[in-house]
Amino acid sequence: MNKREIKSILIDYNSLAELEKEQQELIKKAKEAAINAYAPYSQFEVGAAVLLENGEIIQGNNQENAAYPSGLCAERVAIFYANSKYPNVAIKSIAVTANTKDGIIKDPIPPCGSCLQVMLESEKRLDKDIQVILYGENKITVAKNINQFLPINFNKEMLK
């Protein structure tokens, strides 16, 4: 028997002022996107903003549907749009936040497994890490890449 230990490194910040201006702007865009989410069933409005290597920022928000699970998460909406509009431009970072009926979330929420898998594919596709910024009123969590959330992952090499 062999035992493996897997570690992830996530950095927590207490305020926006601790972040770089580029990260602050991306969070602002994610907050804007959350306001426009279509979430009549869950009342959980998620916003995402993707910063591309060319400087473009693409926003996305969750889109629910009465025929669950036909909706789509904010992260995938933003990433799929970015990849379709700029197929050969790497994603530099993504910021994610959410609103509830009580306002913006207090603590950051991680992306779901499906979104993480899509982010991982985007990293592998253009061989570029994607920084993840998760915003909550109480703290901001930053990871340098998707492996911090998905250290054992399914990838194209496994299909050979």
- The residues that are catalytic are 75
Checking if the pLDDT of 160 tops 90, the result is: no
Checking if the pLDDT of 110 tops 90, the result is: yes
Checking if the pLDDT of 120 tops 90, the result is: yes
Its domain, for residue 146, covers 11-150
103: left (phi over 0), alpha (psi -120 to 50) or beta: left
Checking if the pLDDT of 3 tops 90, the result is: yes
Confidence at residue 126, expressed as pLDDT on a 0 to 100 scale: 94
Residue 2 forms part of a structural domain? no
143: left (phi over 0), alpha (psi -120 to 50) or beta: beta
Confidence at residue 30, expressed as pLDDT on a 0 to 100 scale: 98
Residue 120 forms part of a structural domain? yes
Mean pLDDT of the chain: 96
CATH of the domain at 62: 3.40.140.10
What would the pLDDT profile of 18-46 be if each residue is shown by its tens digit? 999 999 999 999 999 999 999 999 999 99
Pairing between strand 45-52 and 91-100? antiparallel
Confidence at residue 69, expressed as pLDDT on a 0 to 100 scale: 82
Residue 160 forms part of a structural domain? no
Residue 119 forms part of a structural domain? yes
% of residues, the chain, pLDDT over 90: 92
Structure letter (DSSP) for residue 60: E
22: left (phi over 0), alpha (psi -120 to 50) or beta: alpha
Tell me the pTM: 0.95
Confidence at residue 111, expressed as pLDDT on a 0 to 100 scale: 97
Confidence of residue 122 (pLDDT cuts 50, 70, 90): very high
Residue 87 forms part of a structural domain? yes
Checking if the pLDDT of 50 tops 90, the result is: yes
Number of domains into which the chain is organized = 1
CB 117 within 8 A of CB 158: no
Residue 130 forms part of a structural domain? yes
Residue 158 forms part of a structural domain? no
Residue 85 forms part of a structural domain? yes
Confidence at residue 68, expressed as pLDDT on a 0 to 100 scale: 81
CB 33 within 8 A of CB 63: no
